[in-house]
Amino acid sequence: MQVLKFGGTSMGSAQAIEQVCEIVKNKKQNGRLTIVASAMSGITDKLIQVGTLAGQGQEQYKSVLEEIENKHLDTIRTLFPITAQSSIISQVKKRVNVLETLCDGIFQVGELSARSLDKIMSFGELVSSYLLAEKLKVSGLSAAWKDSRELIVTDGNYGNAAVNFLATNHQTNQYFQQESATYVVLPGFVAATADGETTTLGRGGSDYTAAIIAAALNADVLDIWTDVSGMMTADPRLVSQAIPIPHISYAEAMELSHFGAKVIYPPTIQPVMDKKIPIWIKNTFAPDDYGTLIHTPDGNGRNYPVTGISGIQKIALLTLEGSGMVGIPGFSKRLFEALLQEKINVILITQSSSEHSITVGIHEADMLKSKQAVDSEFAQEIQEKRIQPLVVERDMSIVAVVGDKMKNHHGTSGKLFAALGRNGVNIRAIAQGSTEKNISVVINKNDVKKALNVIHEAFFETPLKQVNVFIAGVGNVGGKLLEQLNQQHNFLMSELGLHVRVAGIASSKKMAFGHTSINLPEWRQLLENGEASDIKTFAQKIKTLNLRNSVFVDNTASPEVAAIYGEFLQHGISVVTCNKIACSSDYNYYKSLKDTARKFNASFLFETNVGAGLPVINTLNDLIRSGDKVNSIEAVLSGSLNFVFNNFVDGASFREVVKAAQDEGYTEPDPRIDLSGVDVMRKILILARESGARMELEDITNHSFLPAEALNAASVADFYEQLDVHAAHFKGLYEAANKEGKRLKFVARYENGKASVGLQSVAPDHPFYNLLGKDNIVLYTTNRYADQPLIVKGAGAGADVTASGIFADIIRSAR
C-alpha cells in the first residue's frame, strides 16, 4: 500500500488535476493506492473569508461564495467530457447549497463559531477529492471516494483538532478491509468528533491526514506531492539559491517544519516515523526530480553540518524579569502554566544564567492574551516590585538552522553569528536545543530575508559570495568604475568567488535600482528613466532594501553625501569613498566613522583620498598594524600641481599652464582648491591621522605661493585674470629655482606631530626631482625604514586610476 497526498497547487486547476491522474496511473505498485487531496489552491483562504464576512454581517460573503462555486464549475467543465458533467455539477451544487444555507444562518446571527468555520472549510477538500475520484473513474480506473470524516476521529478542538488514534486506526482498517477499489481517494484536512461533528486538523493539515492513514494502514511509503522539488535548504521564495535536500532524517524534517518550512505540516512526521514509514516529497510539476526522502538518518554522505534553514515570522518576545526570581524555584513553571491555560504555544525559550530573567517566543497573535495571563499570575509579585510587569516586544522573527550533524561540528554557531554580525543583523535572543539539532535566533522582522540569505551563503554557497554595490556619483570616476565592474564581473566570479552586483546608482538628480542587479551596459539609459532622487532618498532606499554584503560607494565631492556615511556604517553597510571631505573635516567626525565601522563590522575605506589608485593608505596601515612607527612623511600629493610645475618651463605662461591642467581634468572645477594647497593639506592631514595623529586642518602650516589677490578673486574668471596680473611673480619663482639647477615641487611634510605644505625647489639628487606629469610620490621614514624611506610612486590623478582604486576598496570590503 502506498499513500499519496496532493497539495493545493497540485489540485489547483483542471490541468493540474490531469497531471495528478497521470502520476497516479504511472505509479507501479502492488496492491492499492490511497490518495489524499487538498482543497484547490486558495480555496481554504476564501472559505475563511466567506465565514468571517458572514459572521460580521457583511453581505459581500455572497460574492466570494460565488467565486468559489465558479472556480469549481469551470474546473469541471474543462476536466470532464460533457456527458459526465451534469451529474458531477449537480453533486457539487448540492454541497454549495449546504454551504450557502450554513452561511446565511451565520449572517443572520452575526456570529461565526469555530465549529461552523470547520464546516465551511471542509467544503474545499470534500469537493476537490470528489472531483479527483470522478476523474479517475472517467479514465476507466477502479476508484472510490471515501469521506475522511468517517475514518478519522478527533476531539472537539475545532480548527486544530487532536486525533484519537485508537478509534481512527480501527475505523480505517475496517473500511479498507471491505473496500475493493484499487484507488481510494480521501479529502485531506477534515475529520469528525465521535458524535460526527465536522472538525479540521489545522492549516496545512492535509499532509497530516495522509500520515494518519499511512500509519493506520502500515503503508510502504507516504508520498507528499507539492509544487517544489522537495524540502529545500531554505524557503525558495525567500532564498533564490536554495537547493533540494535529497535525504533528511525525521528529526531534521520535524525541526525544519516546526520552524517554518511550510512544505510539510509539522505533526505529519510523528505517526509515520513511529512506524518507520519513509516520506517522499515530490514535485507534481517535475515528477522526474528526485525530491526529498525523509527517513531514518544516515546523512547519505552529506558533508554539511547544517541541513536546512527556516524562519517563522510574526513572533513576539515575552520577558519576565526581576530580582525576586533569583534562586527561587517555580517561576518558570508558573509562567508556562499561565500560558498553557490560554492554550498559547511557546516556540522558543531562553533563560539567562543569572536566573534574573526568562524570555519566551510566541506567535504575535497571542501577545495580548499572554500579557494579561502572565501579569495576573504574578500580580502579587509585581505589586511587591519583586518582578516587573511582563515585557512584550513585537515585530520579531525566528530564524533556525537545523542539522543532525551540528553536534559533531564545532564552529557552527560561530559561523552563524559571524555571518549575521557582518551584515548588521541584530540578534535579540538565542536558543539552542539540548539535542544540538537546532540553533534559533530571534531577530527583527525586517532582517529575515537578509538573514536567511547570508546564513544560506555561509553554509551552502561557500564558493560564491554576493556583494551588493550602491554607487552615488556617476560622472568621470563613477562612469569608469561602472565600466571596470562590468568588464571584471566574470573574472571576480571565477577567480575570487565574488558575485559583485551593482544594485543601485544615483546621480545628483536621479536614481535607479536593478530588480536583481543593474544591467551595466545599460546604466545610462536606466538612470535617465530613473526616479527623481536626492542623497537622502537614495540612502533610505538602500537601507530599506537591506541587502546582504552591501557597499555604498561615494564618487562625489559633496558634503551632503559625506555627512551620511555614519548612517550606513551603523547598518553594517560598508562605505568606500574617493570624497575627501569626511576624512579631512573635523577630527571627531573622522574618528567616529572609524569607530562606528569597527563596532558594526563594516568597512570604511578611502584609499583614493590620497594618490588616487596608488596604495598610499594601505601601505601606511600595513606598516602600523605590523608594529612599525612612522617618523616622517614627505610627499608630492597633488597630481594637478605637479602637472602645472612640470609644464611651467621657460617661456610658458602660468595662466595657460593652469588652464591646460583644468581642461585635461587634472584640477577641481575651481583650480584654486588645488593651487592654494588646500587639497594637499587635506591629503597630508589624512595621512597624519592614519599615522595616529589627532590633527585638524587648521594645525597645518600652508606656505602658499599664490598672491592674495588671486586666492581671494571673486570668481574663477577673475582668478585667471589675477594669474596674468601676477605673471612676474610666478616667473620669478621659476627662475630662482632654475638658476640653481633645481625644480619646483609642491611638497607636503609630516614630522614630530606637525604638518606643513608649500612650494619647494628640489635638487637633482632628490627623489622628487624626476617626478613626471601628474605623478605622486610618498616617502615613509619609519623605525623599520630608517635609512632609506619606503617609497610609493606612480600616477596620482585621473578617472581611470581613481576608479581602479575604488574598485580595489570594494573588493577589499567584500573579502
Positions marked catalytic: 683
Across the strands, what pairs with 172?
Answer: none
Exposed, middle or buried: residue 6 (CB in 10 Å: 0-12, 13-18, 19+)?
buried
The pairing of strands 531-532 and 308-321 is unpaired
Q: Residue 792 binds which entry of ligand ADP, ligand ASP, Mg ion, none, with Cβ cut-offs from 5 to 8 Å by kind?
A: none
3-state DSSP assignment of residue 23: helix
Half-sphere exposure in the Cβ direction for 391 (13 Å, CA): 10
Kindly identify the residues of this chain, within the stretch 603-642, that bind Mg ion according to CB under 5 A: none
Host H or E run for residue 19: helix 14-26
Residues 249-288 as x/- pattern, contact with ligand ADP by CB under 6 A = ------------xxx-------------------------
In whole angstroms, how close is the CB of 237 to ligand ADP at the nearest point? 5
Nearer Cβ to ligand ASP (314/594): 314
Q: Which is nearer to Mg ion, 204 or 530 (CB)?
A: 204
* Residue least distant from ligand ADP (Cβ): 7
124 near ligand ASP, judged by CB under 6 A: yes
Give the CB-side neighbour count of residue 626, counting CA atoms within 13 A.
9
DSSP code, position 284? T
Beta carbon nearer to ligand ADP, 7 or 677: 7
236 touching ligand ADP, by CB under 6 A? yes
Q: Is residue 139 packed enough to be buried (19+ CB in 10 Å), middle (13-18) or exposed (0-12)? A: middle
Alpha carbons 392 and 394: distance in angstroms, whole number: 7
Tell me how far, at minimum, the Cβ of 44 lies from ligand ADP, in Å.
10
Using an 8 Å Cβ cutoff, are 317 and 442 in contact? yes
* 310 touching ligand ADP, by CB under 6 A: yes
Binding flag, residue 478, ligand ASP (CB under 6 A): no
Task: From the list ligand ADP, ligand ASP, Mg ion, none, pick the one residue 234 interacts with, judged by a Cβ distance below 5 to 8 Å according to partner type.
Answer: ligand ADP
Q: Establish if 497 lies at the interface with ligand ADP (CB under 6 A).
A: no
Using CB under 5 A, which of the segments 59-67, 203-211, 236-244, 802-810 binds Mg ion? 203-211
**Which of 69, 118, 134, 235: binder of ligand ADP (CB under 6 A)?**
235
Q: Cα–Cα distance between 277 and 34 in angstroms, integer? A: 15
Q: What own/partner pairs with CB < 8 Å and gap ≥ 24 does 782-785 have?
A: 782/623, 782/628, 782/629, 782/630, 782/631, 783/628, 783/629, 783/631, 784/623, 784/628, 785/628
Q: Cα(720)–Cα(274) distance, rounded to whole angstroms?
A: 91
Sign of CA dihedral 530, 531, 537, 541: negative
How big is the site for ligand ASP, counted in residues (CB under 6 A)?
A: 12
Does 232 bind ligand ADP (CB under 6 A)? Our answer is yes
Q: Compare residues 15 and 180 and give the one whose CB is closer to ligand ADP.
A: 15
Q: Which is nearer to ligand ADP, 294 or 492 (CB)?
A: 294
206 binding ligand ASP? (CB under 6 A): yes
Name 611's Cβ contacts closer than 8 Å, sequence gap at least 6. 637, 683, 776, 778, 792, 794, 796
Question: Binding Mg ion by CB under 5 A: which of 204, 230, 267, 403?
Answer: 204
In three-state secondary structure terms, 434 is: coil
Q: Nearer to Mg ion by C-beta: 12 or 424?
A: 12
Interface pattern 20-49 for ligand ADP (x via CB under 6 A): ------------------x-----------
* Exposed/middle/buried for residue 625 (C-beta within 10 Å: 0-12, 13-18, 19+): exposed
Q: Give 8 or 361: the residue with its C-beta nearer to ligand ADP.
A: 8
Contacting residues for 55 by C-beta, under 8 A, at least 6 apart = 106, 107, 110, 111, 112
Residue 189-218 contact track with ligand ADP, rule CB under 6 A, x = bound:
---------------x--------------
Of 8 and 305, which has the nearer Cβ to Mg ion?
A: 8
Q: How far is the CB of 215 from ligand ASP (least distance, A)?
A: 17
The site partner of 377 among ligand ADP, ligand ASP, Mg ion, none (C-beta below 5 to 8 Å per kind) is none
Minimum CB separation of residue 44 from ligand ASP in Å reads: 3
Closest CA to 417 of 427, 432, 408: 427
Q: Does 504 bind Mg ion (CB under 5 A)?
A: no
Residue 627: how many CB atoms within 10 A of its CB? 8
Nearer to Mg ion, 266 or 796 (CB): 266
Dist CA 285 CA 283 (whole Å): 5
Q: How far is the CB of 126 from ligand ASP (least distance, A)?
A: 11
In this structure, the dihedral spanned by the alpha carbons of residues 165, 166, 168 and 169, taken in order and rounded to 10 degrees, is: 100
- The piece of 21-29, 234-242, 527-535, 564-572 that touches ligand ADP (CB under 6 A) is 234-242
Residue 17 binds ligand ADP, judged by CB under 6 A: no
CA nearest 211: which of 23, 58, 4, 50?
4
Identity of residue 624: I
Residue 205 sits in the site that holds Mg ion (CB under 5 A): no
In the complex, what is the shortest distance from the CB of residue 161 to ligand ASP, in angstroms, rounded to a whole number? Answer: 13
**Distance, CA of 791 to CA of 778 (rounded, Å):** 6
Annotate 736-771 with b (16+ C-beta within 10 A) or e (fewer): ebeeeebbbbbbbbbeeeebbbbbbbbeeebebeeb
Query: Which three cell numbers mark 790?
Result: 619606503
Site string for ligand ASP, 26-65 (x = CB under 6 A): ------------xx----x---------------------
Separation of alpha carbons 362 and 360, rounded Å: 7
CB of 240 to Mg ion, least distance (A): 21
Q: Name the binder of 236 from Mg ion, ligand ASP, ligand ADP, none, CB < 5-8 A by kind.
A: ligand ADP
448-460 vs 412-422: helix axis angle to the nearest 10? Answer: 130
Query: Which residue, 306, 312, 307, 308, is CA-closest to 260?
Result: 312
Question: According to CB under 6 A, which one of 271, 308, 530, 677 is a site residue for ligand ADP?
Answer: 308
CA distance 573 to 555: 16
Q: Which is nearer to ligand ADP, 239 or 616 (CB)?
A: 239
Question: Can you tell me which of 2, 8, 730, 771 binds ligand ADP, judged by CB under 6 A?
Answer: 8
CB-wise, 203 or 543, nearer to ligand ASP? Answer: 203
Residue 308 binds which entry of Mg ion, ligand ASP, ligand ADP, none, with Cβ cut-offs from 5 to 8 Å by kind? ligand ADP
- Asked if residue 796 binds Mg ion (CB under 5 A), the reply is no
The grid cell for 813 is 570590503
Q: How far is the CB of 10 from ligand ASP (least distance, A)?
A: 10
The least CB distance from residue 9 to ligand ADP, in Å, is 5
Question: Which of residues 257 and 609 has its CB atom nearest to Mg ion in the complex?
Answer: 257
By CB under 6 A, residue 292 contacts ligand ASP: no
Please answer whether residues 428 and 420 qualify as being in contact, where contact means their C-beta atoms are separated by less than 8 angstroms. no
Of these, 6, 8, 76, 154, which contacts ligand ASP (CB under 6 A)? 8
Cβ 233 to ligand ADP shortest distance, Å: 7
579-608: which residues touch ligand ADP (CB under 6 A)?
none
All three cell numbers of 629, joined, read 612607527
Residue 615 and residue 607 in contact, taking contact as beta carbons nearer than 8 Å: yes
Report the candidate in 397, 414, 87, 422 with the shortest Cα–Cα distance to residue 259. Answer: 397
Q: Which residues bind ligand ADP (CB under 6 A)?
A: 7-10, 38, 204, 226-228, 231-232, 234-237, 261-263, 308, 310
Q: Which residues bind ligand ASP (CB under 6 A)?
A: 8, 38-39, 44, 124, 188-189, 203-207
Q: Which residues bind Mg ion (CB under 5 A)?
A: 7, 204
